[in-house]
């Protein structure tokens, strides 16, 4: 297919596809999905080989958020039966992080619900970062605390944070349809603050909220302009008790096309499969490793994920290897200036950002999935809803399980 040959050539040169080409990837048929995966896989392997970076989420403060993001189980007015608790103490968070590191995670993502941190919150998180680094000197730490005020990114950097995550989520044109308590511009501003402070910025999107192909292309092109080091791709988990509970719009093939489009537009950045991986990709998760070079290990923020052991087996069985702490994630031209070289064209020619390994939007999916994928016995999923419909395009509420272990509980984490 001429389109795919063209996109591979552009990806190997870090050349931006046209919007028409990006839209054409999303418009390919299910019959062509393996060809699309194979083409985008060439770009992924060129820049990242067969390495898969593992990231681990720690939900520092769960629920009771004053923001009204429609996709989020922690939003204002949510009736989802998620765990609700206030700030974990630094030793509790460090213990949770250690479980992820022991499971093979290279990065720990510290997430807290809320509009944004107070200065006291930044002190709390700074103490937590220091505690984690004392136990695991080589681990990368990413913070995801919402909208940043002036000077806060610098304080997190000085405490030892490596990255900051704040997702754009959807296109600027449709942002007001999913959130009214803050703006798209607020999110862009926070990503820019993280980058300006020297943090590696992560910013990504949520697919499956009823958006059009044009919206998906718009947000990915905007991300390229921001130039993050990492782009988490979340697939909406329609949590019962949220406004988007009935939005089951994704198929495994659709998810693969979205990931391929992101890889073609952002060829040399860390593309992470984030929230909704287990729910929407299901048995086709291994194919997605040919497109993305990063995943979350174990559970998400408010939902359960595939067992950590199963994640590791999946990576190995698909012929990939877990990226070690002694390996640099990003290509040399992006790391020459430090955590990420934003001066060159990278995944984006823009003003730059940095990266997170995606620790997530404050809403649901993961990079921080405040929704989740199921793990273990999906027949006992906590979220109520319609009966499972195993067929293609059906609502798989049986795969949505509220997290009841790990951070904020007395039970062992899934890592």
What pLDDT score does 80 carry? 84
DSSP strand E in 245-387: where? 270-273, 294-296, 321-322
Q: Is 253:30 a contact under the CB 8 Å cutoff?
A: yes
Q: What is the DSSP string of 221-264?
A: HHHHHH--SEEEEEE----TTSTTTT-----HHHHHHHHHHHHH
Written as six digits, the tokens of 128 are: 């937590």
Residues 291-312: b if buried by 16+ CB within 10 A, e if exposed? bbbbbbbbbbbbbbbbbbeebb
User: What whole-number distance in Å separates Cα of residue 82 and Cα of residue 405?
Assistant: 11
Catalytic residues: 65, 69, 72, 109, 142, 202, 272
For Cα atoms 227, 114, 224, give the angle at the middle one, nearest 5 degrees.
10
How many residues in the chain? 415
Q: What is the DSSP letter of 174?
A: G
Q: Which residues of the chain have pLDDT under 50?
A: 338-392
Q: Is 145:125 a contact under the CB 8 Å cutoff?
A: yes
User: What whole-number distance in Å separates Cα of residue 400 and Cα of residue 403?
Assistant: 10
Say what angle helices 152-159 and 184-196 make with each other, to 10 degrees: 40
The three-state secondary structure class of 317 is helix
What pLDDT score does 393 carry? 55
What pLDDT score does 76 carry? 82
Q: What is the DSSP string of 138-156?
A: T-EEEEE-SSPPTTHHHHH
Q: Is 288:277 a contact under the CB 8 Å cutoff?
A: yes
What pLDDT score does 143 carry? 98
Q: Provide the whole-model pTM.
A: 0.88
Q: Which residues pair with 303 in a beta bridge?
A: 402
């Amino acid at each position: 297919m001429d389109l795919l040959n063209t996109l591979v050539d552009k990806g190997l040169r870090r050349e931006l596809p046209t919007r028409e080409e990006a839209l054409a990837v999303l418009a390919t048929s299910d019959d062509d999905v393996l060809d699309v995966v194979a083409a985008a896989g060439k770009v992924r392997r060129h820049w990242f080989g067969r390495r898969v970076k593992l990231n681990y989420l720690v939900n520092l403060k769960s629920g009771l958020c004053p923001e009204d993001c429609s996709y989020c189980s922690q939003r204002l007015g949510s009736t989802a039966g998620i765990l609700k608790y206030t700030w974990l103490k630094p030793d509790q968070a460090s213990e949770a992080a250690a479980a992820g590191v022991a499971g093979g995670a290279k990065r720990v993502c510290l997430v807290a619900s809320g509009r944004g941190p107070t200065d006291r919150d930044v002190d709390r998180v700074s103490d937590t970062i220091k505690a984690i680094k004392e136990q695991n000197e080589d681990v990368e730490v990413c913070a995801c605390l919402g909208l940043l005020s002036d000077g806060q990114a610098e304080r997190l950097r000085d405490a030892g944070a490596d990255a900051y995550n704040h997702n754009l989520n959807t296109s600027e044109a449709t942002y007001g349809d999913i959130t009214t308590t803050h703006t798209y511009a607020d999110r862009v501003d926070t990503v820019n603050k993280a980058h300006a402070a020297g943090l590696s910025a992560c910013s990504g999107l949520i697919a499956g909220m009823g958006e059009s192909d044009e919206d998906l292309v718009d947000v990915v092109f905007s991300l390229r302009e921001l130039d993050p080091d990492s782009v988490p791709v979340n697939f909406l988990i329609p949590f019962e008790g949220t406004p988007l509970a009935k939005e089951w719009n994704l198929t495994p093939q659709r998810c693969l096309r979205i990931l391929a489009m992101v890889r073609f537009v952002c060829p040399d950045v860390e593309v992470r499969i984030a929230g909704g991986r287990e729910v929407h990709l299901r048995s086709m998760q291994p194919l997605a490793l040919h497109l993305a070079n990063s995943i979350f290990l174990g559970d998400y923020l408010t939902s359960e994920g595939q067992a950590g052991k199963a994640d590791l087996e999946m990576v190995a069985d698909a012929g990939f290897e877990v990226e070690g702490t002694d390996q640099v994630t990003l290509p040399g031209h992006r790391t020459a200036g430090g955590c990420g070289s934003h001066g060159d064209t990278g995944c984006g020619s823009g003003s730059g950002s940095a990266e997170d390994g995606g620790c997530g939007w404050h809403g649901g999916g993961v990079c921080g999935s405040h929704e989740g994928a199921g793990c273990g016995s999906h027949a006992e999923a906590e979220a109520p809803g319609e009966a499972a419909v195993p067929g293609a395009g059906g609502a798989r509420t049986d795969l949505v399980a509220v997290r009841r272990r790990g951070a904020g509980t007395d039970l062992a984490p899934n890592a």
